[in-house]
Chain A
Amino acid sequence: MMLIPCPHCGPRAHAEFTFDRPVEAITRPDETPDALVRNLFSRDNPRGPSRELWRHTYGCRSWITLTRDTATHAITDVRPVGADA
């Protein structure tokens, strides 16, 4: 079980959260069809740190981004969505 530090609610059990997609797969309205297909339907799928979009679905329902190691589940750099540098 991962403990995810929600920027609004503090540390909460990961059962309260749902994974949406890696940040690389967030699509934008102004993308070309080729970029859209690439972003929607292919992945780096790294073993190691991955920047991801999650939602605190069963808590404050906010969207957040975080960096999570896909091998160790270590979570760092959690931000409200839109606050990415």
Chain B
Amino acid sequence: MKYSALSLLRAGLGGHKDWPRAWRDPDPKPHYDVIIIGGGGHGLTTAFYLAAVHGVRKVAVLERSWIGGGNTGRNTTIVRSNYRLPQLHALMELSLKRWEGMSDEINYNVMFSQRGALFLGHSDSDMLQLAQKGDAMRADGIDADLMTRDQVARLIPLLDVSSTARYPVQGGLIQRRGGTARHDAVAWGYARAADRLGVDIIQNCEVTGMDITGGRITGVQTSRGAIGADRVGIAVAGNSGRVAALADLRLPIESHLLQAFVSEPVKPMIDTVIMTQSLHCYISQSDKGEIVLGGDPDAYPTYSQRGAPHIIEKAAAEALALVPALSRLRMLRSWAGTTDMSFDGSPFIDATPVEGLYFNGGWCYGGFKATPGSGWLFAHLLARGESHPVAAPFRLDRFETGHTMDEPGVGPMPQNR
């Protein structure tokens, strides 16, 4: 059924008891044209665009647990394209443009709110870097505005911009088209939209092996039996190394963790996404009213989804110094997601040495914003067997050939990002 104001009214009159399930719960078929491993945002958008854009309808998405239960539901929901390198501009701007039309495209309200994503500058060198980044963005047609301290103070009245502040604010760079979205809705909306186009979304189905004959993939072994496929795409960021190991592949990725936490809900107090150039703390307020905070990655390989308290303490201290009014809030929850850390901070969307097996991963801690763009580009690769021009630089072998895309310029150690 199509969601609309009328369907909402009708269901409301019936006490909301007659909503049909949003997507089917099919058993796996013996064979598919394309199997996507991973039912997170990237896998689901890939399946949707395979069906909607490329006409590939015999598609299955295999999810080890449930839809939206992995990193799609563990991020801080920030969407932006304020990068510096042209390759990342192309990728993230393609994605941001898809965000802007997403709710209409999939007939599901993902509550995409372009409230502005602001990077604060705390020193002369911060402001220089922000100005350079803004120039680079505008040269590639992406919106960016440098702001003075007074302009920042008017935008975020609760920010401490005094000269005695722990982190003095000199100004900032805002991308007004940036913002936040409801992350669960992205997973559910694309699952429903893909399902309506005939994609089988198979939950509680863990891939345990890959059937490879003569260097070509013919299917996968799963906890629900063997499933054949002409092409297989891996989109399991966080567990990329483990799934790739099933095909004897070794990746330029380490799995680390990133924590986030939210406060009790309060009335609207921050209507912009606040990030900073010198600190690693980001602050936004969800539509429920919770203050959402994130900080540094824990900086060592782990699959535990359980971070250390000194990281939370640091992020909280920075947030309190920036917005002292947060000091009376109680934190409700903290959690961690497993991040697919690549060695230059940029992702991979590429074919693998196994014919018919394709890889999408290495999104570090920035995969959520790329969800629709990633799916758009991965679907192109899976349908046509060749990379979309925007995805072409994001190769798995770029470290061997020297074509790295190191946005922060910090070298090849994942824990330094």
A37 in contact (CB, < 8 A): yes
Interface 1/0s, chain A 32-46, versus B by CB < 8 A?
Answer: 000001101111111
* Cα of A47 to Cα of B246 in the assembled complex, Å: 13
What residues of chain B lie closer than 8 Å to A42, measured between beta carbons?
Answer: 250-252
* Cα of A43 to Cα of B253 in the assembled complex, Å: 6
* Cα of A18 to Cα of B245 in the assembled complex, Å: 27
How far does the Cβ of A58 sit from chain B's closest Cβ, in whole Å? 11
Q: Considering the complex, give the chain A residue whose CB is closest to the CB of B301.
A: A70
How far does the Cβ of A74 sit from chain B's closest Cβ, in whole Å? 11
Interface of A is mostly: mixed
What residues of chain B lie closer than 8 Å to A41, measured between beta carbons?
Answer: 252, 343, 399-400, 412
Q: Given A19-B300, A41-B400, A47-B242, are A70 and B255 neighbors across the interface (CB < 8 Å)?
A: yes
* Cα of A38 to Cα of B250 in the assembled complex, Å: 9
Interface 1/0s, chain A 1-25, versus B by CB < 8 A?
Answer: 1100000000001110011111000
Q: Given A42-B250, A42-B252, are A18 and B304 neighbors across the interface (CB < 8 Å)?
A: no
How many pairs of A and B residues are in contact by the CB < 8 Å rule?
A: 70
Cβ-neighbour of B241 out of A2, A13, A43 (below 8 A): A43
* Cα of A49 to Cα of B398 in the assembled complex, Å: 29
* Cα of A20 to Cα of B253 in the assembled complex, Å: 15
Interface 1/0s, chain B 46-69, versus A by CB < 8 A?
Answer: 000000000000000000000000
B303 in contact (CB, < 8 A): yes
A73 in contact (CB, < 8 A): yes
* Cα of A72 to Cα of B306 in the assembled complex, Å: 9
What residues of chain A lie closer than 8 Å to B240, measured between beta carbons?
Answer: 45
* Cα of A19 to Cα of B343 in the assembled complex, Å: 15
Cβ-neighbour of B413 out of A14, A21, A37 (below 8 A): A21
What is B's interface to A at a CB cutoff of 8 Å? 239-242, 245, 250-255, 299-304, 306, 308-310, 343, 399-400, 412-413, 415
Taking A47-B242, A71-B302 as given, write out 8 further A-B residue pairs in contact, using a Cβ cutoff of 8 Å, ordered by the A residue number: A1-B309, A1-B310, A15-B308, A40-B412, A41-B412, A45-B253, A52-B301, A70-B304
